[in-house]
Chains A and B, each alone.
Chain A
Amino acid sequence: MPKPKITGIVHTRDSAATLEAALASLAWVDELMVVDMQSRDDSVAIAQRHGAVVHQTEVAPYVEVVRNRFVAQASGDWVLVLDSDEYLSGDAPELVQSLIADKGGSYDAFALPRYNYLGEQVMLGGFRHPDYQVRLFKKGAVLWPGTLHTPPVITTGPARLWEVLPERGPHIHHRNYRDLRQLISRQLTYALRDIYPDDPAAFDFAAYLARAHQQMALRSAPEADGDLSQAMALVMAWDAVMRGLIHWDSLEPRPPLNMLDGFPRAAAQVPRWEIRLRRYLGRHLALRHLLRAVWVRLRALLPKRG
């Protein structure tokens, strides 16, 4: 069987700091495309140096909005999508080729496990690993809905998606944050940019405080990630409080903040059983998350092959 042609696509927006590693790890693909959202740094020059075909596009709030359009322009049979702060390992070329050769007949898309880094540390607790991402697929088999953090749709049906077990195939290495300060800075940027409901009567600061309690309880996984997970839990709790205050500040007229009343109410709003269950099964409690968490746990019990 002839070797299938693979197109690598990387989306950039002022990505010079991390782009070098991403493109170097894709040097082996048959076609390399960089989709740039009007970068003001050296991103385009770096892309050209790596022999990528650079496409310019409008600035979008998140890449999912423009992904479909550029995937359609790829000339490869298979498409491999990376974000500009991600990279692949040294054995990725052979692992991707053998994945396609072994399973490409039965599956149209592969969800690859992802390592998320905070500084030098890979975050493993609280379901931060394997953190599956659909990034390798037959052209036309995957569509992204235009909303942030919504999983892509497999056009040929969910049964045509294969999740690659860690150690059995390539990982995505995701350098999310240089350090905790960058996490804090980004969270604040997102919180300030977000759109909040504008009805003062519906505002309840206690709901934000309850979310802060939840974040503290759910994100902290010192047994897996040590103090850094506690720091992350605190940042996410602080993020919830900040969002409450930003929301309140945007309302006209400002409703009562009721902080002193909000704290005890918020603590009571988060039942202990729910926290326990979510810590065990994953952060979310929607049915698909529950089923998935049970499946991951069952699969971990299966004997490892070869």
Chain B
Amino acid sequence: MSPNQLTVIIPSRGMLAMLEQCLAALGRSLEAAGLREQSTVAVVDNATAPPLPPKRIAAAGAELLRLDAHHSFSQANNLAARRWPAANYLLLNNDVLLQPETIAEMLGLLERIPQAGICGARMVFPDGTLQHAGVVFGPGKKGPYHLLRAQPSHLMPRVDREFQAVTGACMLIRHELWQEMGGLDESYPFGLEDIDFCLRARQRGRRIFCCQDSESLHFESMTPGRVKLDVGSRELFMSRWQGRYTIDG
């Protein structure tokens, strides 16, 4: 396994047009990193009815893993990682349009900092405000939230920074860490399994960073019905982690 080998995992429930834009942007980013040949792009069709058309996914350079029953975000990612093991996994949402330089920057960070196990990316909404530049934790019921979310992008310095967690919408993870932790925790219905993963990784002494050089675009929660599933996940997360993270937000 070459150290830069990559499997990109994109779960998608419908949203074909968005997915194709996501794959096109991803292709440019892999190309710029010189990784087009040594990477696998895996689209997990999470019970779309009717199924996503295999030829269009193949035409976009991706492999397709069809699931007939609706699975959680964790299960969808874990199944794909088991099918296409690689030196690194990039979890990517289907409504994220990467900048060409983003993947090279994220991999570069993991290469520079050996203790880093996870790397996130700075992302903005279509109006240019920040969608994600790192996750911080508030006191009491507030819990984890995106730092400076919906604030003007210039408020966040363009310097790579360490956090307790980053979003799974675009998250690069080393294979050894993924294996050690058995992937994402499948007890989460949808949401916060990414933050749970980061906190568990830190318990094992791995560090987590967010690249700030480039700004990718993230539309956020585009899949219908997605937000409803957050409630159960949040309850589970808070019951497990409240009081066990550092309040830094």
Binding site for B on A (CB under 8 A): 88-92, 95, 115, 120-122, 124, 129, 166-171, 173
Contacts and interface: CB of A to CB of B under 8 A. Distances in A.
B149 interface: no
Interface string B52-91: 0111100000000111111100000001000100000000
Contact of B68 (A120, A121, A124, A171): A171
Given A91-B71, A167-B70, A121 B83 contact: no
Contacts of B55: 120
Interface in B14-61: 44, 47, 49-51, 53-56
Contacts of B67: 89-91
A122 to B, nearest CB: 4
The 10 A-B pairs at the shortest CB distance, nearest first, are namely A122-B50, A89-B68, A89-B66, A91-B67, A90-B65, A120-B53, A171-B68, A120-B55, A170-B68, A95-B69
Given A166-B49, A167-B49, A120 B69 contact: no
Contacts of B71: 91
B50 A169 contact: no
A90 B51 CA distance: 13
Given A90-B66, A168-B69, A173 B79 contact: no
B72 to A, nearest CB: 12
B69 A173 contact: no
A91 to B, nearest CB: 4
A92 B71 CA distance: 12
A168 B71 CA distance: 11
B51 A169 contact: no
A91 B68 contact: yes
Contacts of B51: 115, 122, 173
A87 B196 CA distance: 36
B12 to A, nearest CB: 14
A120 B54 contact: yes
Report, as a range, how many residues of chain B touch the other chain: 10 to 19
A92 B66 CA distance: 9
Contact of A91 (B49, B50, B79): B79
Residue of B53, B69, B79 with most chain A CB atoms under a 10 A cut-off: B69
A182 to B, nearest CB: 15
A3 B49 CA distance: 30
Give the interface centre of A88, A91, A167 by most chain B CB atoms within 10 Å.
A91
Nearest to A170: B68
A167 B68 CA distance: 6
A166 B67 CA distance: 12
Given A91-B69, A167-B70, 9 more contacts: A90-B83, A91-B67, A91-B71, A95-B68, A115-B50, A120-B55, A120-B56, A168-B69, A169-B69
A122 B47 CA distance: 14
Contacts of A173: 51, 66
A19 B248 CA distance: 56
Contacts of A167: 47, 49, 68-70
A90 B79 contact: yes
B15 to A, nearest CB: 17
Contacts of A124: 50
A30 to B, nearest CB: 20
Interface string B2-14: 0000000000000
20 contacts: A88-B68, A89-B66, A89-B67, A90-B44, A90-B65, A90-B66, A90-B67, A90-B83, A91-B71, A92-B68, A95-B68, A120-B56, A121-B53, A129-B50, A167-B47, A167-B68, A168-B69, A169-B69, A170-B69, A173-B66
B51 to A, nearest CB: 6
Contacts of B50: 115, 122, 124, 129
A127 to B, nearest CB: 15
Nearest to B75: A91
A168 B68 CA distance: 8
A90 B71 CA distance: 12
A138 to B, nearest CB: 22
Contacts of B47: 167
Nearest to B76: A91
A44 B70 CA distance: 35
